Amino acid sequence: MAFKSDDDKTAYWKENLSILAKLLVVWFVVSFGCGILLVDVLDQIQFFGFKLGFWFAQQGSIYVFVVLIFVYMAKMNALDKKYGVDEE
Amino acid sequence: MDVQLLTFIIVGASFALYIAIAIWARAGSTTDFYVAGGGVPPVLNGMATAADWMSAASFISMAGLISFMGYDGAVYLMGWTGGYVLLALCLAPYLRKFGKFTVPDFIGDRYYSQTARTVAVFCAIFVCFTYVAGQMRGVGVVFSRFLEVDIVTGVVIGMAIVFFYTVLGGMKGITYTQVAQYCVLIFAYIVPCVFISMMVTGHILPQTAFGATLADGSGMYMLEKLDNLSVELGFNEYTSGTKSTIDVFFITFALMVGTAGLPHVIVRFFTVPKVRDARKSAGWALVFIAILYTTAPALASFGRVNMIETINGKDMQGTPYAEAPTWIKNWEQTGLITFKDKNGDGKMFYAAGSIDDPASQNEVKVDRDIMVLANPEIANLPAWVIALVAAGGVAAALSTSAGLLLVISTSVSHDLLKRNFAPNITDKAELFYARLAAGVAIVIAGYFGINPPGFVAQVVAFAFGLAASSFFPAIIMGIFSKRMNDKGAISGMIAGIAFTAAYIIYFKFVNPAANVPANWWFGISPEGIGTLGMLVNFAVAYGVFKMTDEAPQEIQDLVESIRFPKGAGEASAH
């Protein structure tokens, strides 16, 4: 058994799911939100030479995706350590 | 030196490099062959994953598609990158902890069912063949245009190279070759684009150049000019789309979920040593993919402006055909550009509408696929840049083919043969059959490359729809619901696939004339239907699960054990 107790196991999984949920909300908001559903509203705003909605759809969302994965990596590594279930 | 000689030298040098790497990284065991011994460093694995993922379609076709679609092209940009977020957060670390070789392995073990495994094997093989035929075709097109050998010879050369390093090196050979191929393809993609953005806007970075003002001193933004030009010629504004919001939403979602469910992408995360490496490797893969994917929309918009200005002239009066640049004549020979002087004035003019429609001003038909390959010529770049683009296109096609062929050979030798028919064969015999299967798969793929079925483009929607509606929900439920049982998962997969396949087959093959938005359910095109198929899968699986017994205790324990990293060993067969 890798966890100290069953409570620990439940708590770890709960925290894991909460990290997932938060990051997936951001994932959804930048791509489906800003890039698709709200694109017409955001297109009213000029961002350098881009319409903002267009920029999110063709550039911005991709940058956020990359950041999300690295944030996830850092948070999960910290969580694994906290519960003593990391490798080594 | 002329373009053709340079192309021979650069493409030849890249081939020599791939072969040298293959010899250095030969596979000695099935673990080497299937998952590169599980010892690939995460950054390199990320690079290899990126090369594996970015196919001839990403390299050659995507910027062209965006160039003609404008805003709507975002479905590919977001769809093919956003899937990595799902992969990194919801699949990769858990599947790595599970520690088997293939996706059907996971499905079969998690749902304790040989039927589930077999269904998964056939889906995996179908998806991979669909893809690989297109790749071989891509190799053929690049060879025929730049080296002026015929398509058959081009495909045979491509097959020989892939055969050599896949059969010899397996996953290990492929992974290290893909690292080299990534470097070649990304360099080949970025260099011409940097040249072009410098010319058009004076910015080095295509990503910012695309939102900058023009270098001609007018002070006008590049995209503003493109919007104006598009409207003037009867198109929609470049930065607004023509697809409905719901369709864009569903297509993007289907591509994301499909990406996360593609077996040749998932299997990459079995090749790293640890769970934390699987997370890291997914992050790096997306970094390397994003470099190309954020450049592509810039290339698309510059290419479009350059193309319109070359054909219509800076004054928008049309360019006399007699003075047309050589690239137009070159591509005309391949049939990818057609000029029809409708008003008989001897000038070319590009506008909205078909060249066969007398009411339209348009006289030039330009195939979307030539945008990336022709861009350096359109912008008058030096010959070595053109040669480099040819090498990049071939690298993209070869790296993806190799990854797909490996999944096919693993599915046959491991999932079908060892798991179903001959459980007692030795490691050595299994390795032999894996190599044999890879060899046979290459020959079949080559055949389709030379004689492409007319439906290659259509089946791409199929591959993503299938992955989205079958694998993705089955894997997600397998990880996040420990009580989900075999009956739920199998009926979910079958319902998802059947629904998606029926919709696509009806609109793409049975009744293509009806394939218009008015006939689509809720306005969702066949490209986006996989999203609905995924929902059907989840709903059916849950319904059946509620009516049957939950998964046995040992399976629930198995699921609990993959939910944390500690104790992840090397990927293994047992």
Read off the tokens for A87: 């490798």
Burial of B522 (0-12, 13-18, 19+ CB in 10 A): exposed
Given B434, B451, B468, the domain boundary residue is: B451
- Domain presence at residue B8: yes
The whole-angstrom separation of Cα B264 and Cα B269 is 10
Confidence bin at B558 (pLDDT 50/70/90): very high
pLDDT for residue B132 is more than 90: no
Read off the tokens for B462: 């199929």
Mean pLDDT for the stretch of residues B103-126: 88
Q: Specify the pLDDT at position B574.
A: 46
Q: Tally helices (H) and strands (E) across chain A.
A: 4, 2
B297–A contact, CB cutoff 8 A: yes
- Highest mean pLDDT among A67-71, B27-31, B318-322 belongs to A67-71
Q: Specify the pLDDT at position B290.
A: 96
- Domain presence at residue B481: no
Q: Domain limits at B387?
A: 3-306+381-451
Confidence bin at B446 (pLDDT 50/70/90): confident
Interface contact flag, A65 B93, Cβ < 8 Å: no
The whole-angstrom separation of Cα A4 and Cα A83 is 8
**CATH number of the domain to which B264 belongs:** 1.10.4160.10
Contact B88, A69 (CB under 8 A): yes
Looking at the structure, tell me whether residues B243 and B260 fall in a common domain: yes
Domain ranges of chain A: 7-82
Question: What is the pLDDT tens value at each position of chain A, 88 positions in all?
Answer: 578 888 999 999 999 999 999 999 999 999 999 999 999 999 999 998 899 999 999 999 999 999 999 999 999 999 999 999 888 6
Residue B70 DSSP one-character state: G
Interface contact flag, B276 A83, Cβ < 8 Å: no
pLDDT for residue B461 is more than 70: no
Give CA separation, B259 vs B66, B88, B508, in Å: 19, 12, 21
Interface of A with B (CB under 8 A): 2-3, 9, 12-13, 16, 20, 23-24, 27, 31-32, 35-37, 39, 43, 47-51, 54-55, 57-59, 61-63, 65-66, 68-70, 72-73, 76-77, 80, 83-87
Q: Specify the pLDDT at position B569.
A: 67
The whole-angstrom separation of Cα B193 and Cα A43 is 26
Closest CB to A31 among B82, B245, B566 = B82
Contact B517, B244 (CB under 8 A): yes
- Domain presence at residue B529: no
Q: Specify the pLDDT at position B423.
A: 79
Inter-residue long-range contacts of B337-343, CB under 8 Å, 24+ positions, other chains counted: B337/B364, B337/B365, B337/B366, B337/B367, B337/B370, B338/B364, B338/B365, B339/B363, B339/B364, B339/B365, B340/B364, B340/B365
Looking at the structure, tell me whether residues B233 and B138 fall in a common domain: yes
Interface contact flag, A69 B275, Cβ < 8 Å: no
pLDDT for residue B1 is more than 70: no
Q: Write out pLDDT tens, residues B6-17.
A: 888 998 899 899
Interface contact flag, B560 A86, Cβ < 8 Å: no
> Within 10 Å of residue B403's Cβ, how many Cβ atoms?
30
Contact B22, B164 (CB under 8 A): yes
Contact B141, B147 (CB under 8 A): no
> Within 10 Å of residue B31's Cβ, how many Cβ atoms?
22
In chain B, which residue's Cα lies nearest the Cα of A60?
Answer: B294
Q: Write out pLDDT tens, residues B226-274.
A: 999 999 998 999 998 888 999 999 999 999 999 998 888 888 888 788 8
Closest CB to A80 among B212, B290, B565 = B565
Tell me which residue has tokens 């022709």: B374
What residues of chain B lie within 8 A of the CB of A59, using their CB?
A: 207, 210, 294, 297
Q: Tally helices (H) and strands (E) across chain B.
A: 24, 4
Instruction: Indicate if ipTM > 0.85.
Output: yes
- What angle, 0 to 180 degrees and rounded to 10, lies between the N-to-C axes of helices B62-69 and B74-86? 130
Most A CBs within 10 Å, among B78, B86, B224, to test the A interface:
B78
Smallest Cα–Cα separation from B82: which of B468, B403, B533? B468
Mean pLDDT for the stretch of residues B41-51: 90
Residue B221 DSSP one-character state: B
Looking at the structure, tell me whether residues B188 and B332 fall in a common domain: no
Interface contact flag, A13 B563, Cβ < 8 Å: yes
Contact B541, B491 (CB under 8 A): yes
Q: Specify the pLDDT at position A42.
A: 93
pLDDT for residue B81 is more than 70: yes
Coil, strand, or helix at residue B60?
helix
pLDDT for residue B205 is more than 50: yes
To 5 degrees, how large is the angle CA B101–CA B186–CA B125?
Answer: 30
Interface contact flag, A62 B81, Cβ < 8 Å: yes
Q: Specify the pLDDT at position B284.
A: 94
B574 alpha carbon, distance to own chain's centre? 32
Looking at the structure, tell me whether residues B73 and B156 fall in a common domain: yes
Coil, strand, or helix at residue B159?
helix
Looking at the structure, tell me whether residues B232 and B346 fall in a common domain: no
Given B347, B378, B409, the domain boundary residue is: B378
Closest CB to B239 among A54, A63, A76 = A54
Looking at the structure, tell me whether residues B279 and B344 fall in a common domain: no
B49–A contact, CB cutoff 8 A: no
Given B378, B397, B420, the domain boundary residue is: B378
pLDDT for residue B456 is more than 60: no
Coil, strand, or helix at residue B347?
strand
The whole-angstrom separation of Cα B332 and Cα B341 is 14
Mean pLDDT for the stretch of residues B419-425: 78
Coil, strand, or helix at residue B213?
strand
- Domain presence at residue B461: no
B568: region left, alpha or beta (phi > 0 left; psi from -120 to 50 alpha): beta
Looking at the structure, tell me whether residues B363 and B424 fall in a common domain: no
Mean pLDDT for the stretch of residues B379-393: 87
The whole-angstrom separation of Cα A18 and Cα B491 is 30
Element (H, E) at B253: helix B245-261
Cβ pairs bridging A and B (under 8 Å): 142
Looking at the structure, tell me whether residues B287 and B408 fall in a common domain: yes
Looking at the structure, tell me whether residues B153 and B175 fall in a common domain: yes
Smallest Cα–Cα separation from B43: which of B239, B285, B248? B285
Q: Specify the pLDDT at position A23.
A: 97
Confidence bin at B455 (pLDDT 50/70/90): low
To 5 degrees, how large is the angle CA B355–CA B229–CA B251?
Answer: 75
In chain B, which residue's Cα lies nearest the Cα of A2?
Answer: B566
Read off the tokens for B178: 């893909």
Read off the tokens for B175: 């992974």
Q: Specify the pLDDT at position A34.
A: 95
What are the b/e assignments for B360-380, b being 16+ CB within 10 Å? ebbbbebbbbbbbbbbbbbbe
Looking at the structure, tell me whether residues B217 and B115 fall in a common domain: yes
In chain A, which residue's Cα lies nearest the Cα of B290?
Answer: A62
Looking at the structure, tell me whether residues B330 and B402 fall in a common domain: no
The whole-angstrom separation of Cα B361 and Cα B358 is 8
pLDDT for residue B343 is more than 60: yes
Looking at the structure, tell me whether residues B88 and B205 fall in a common domain: yes
Give CA separation, B391 vs B139, B158, B245, B373, B384, in Å: 10, 12, 38, 11, 11
Number of domains in chain B: 2
Q: Which residues contact B33 (CB under 8 A, 6 or more apart)?
A: B27, B170, B171, B172, B431, B434, B435
Q: Which residue has the higher pLDDT, B36 or B340?
A: B340
Read off the tokens for B424: 């007692």
Residue B267 DSSP one-character state: G
Interface contact flag, B223 A2, Cβ < 8 Å: no
Report the relative pairing of strands B319-320 and B364-366 from DSSP bridges: unpaired
The whole-angstrom separation of Cα B270 and Cα B93 is 9
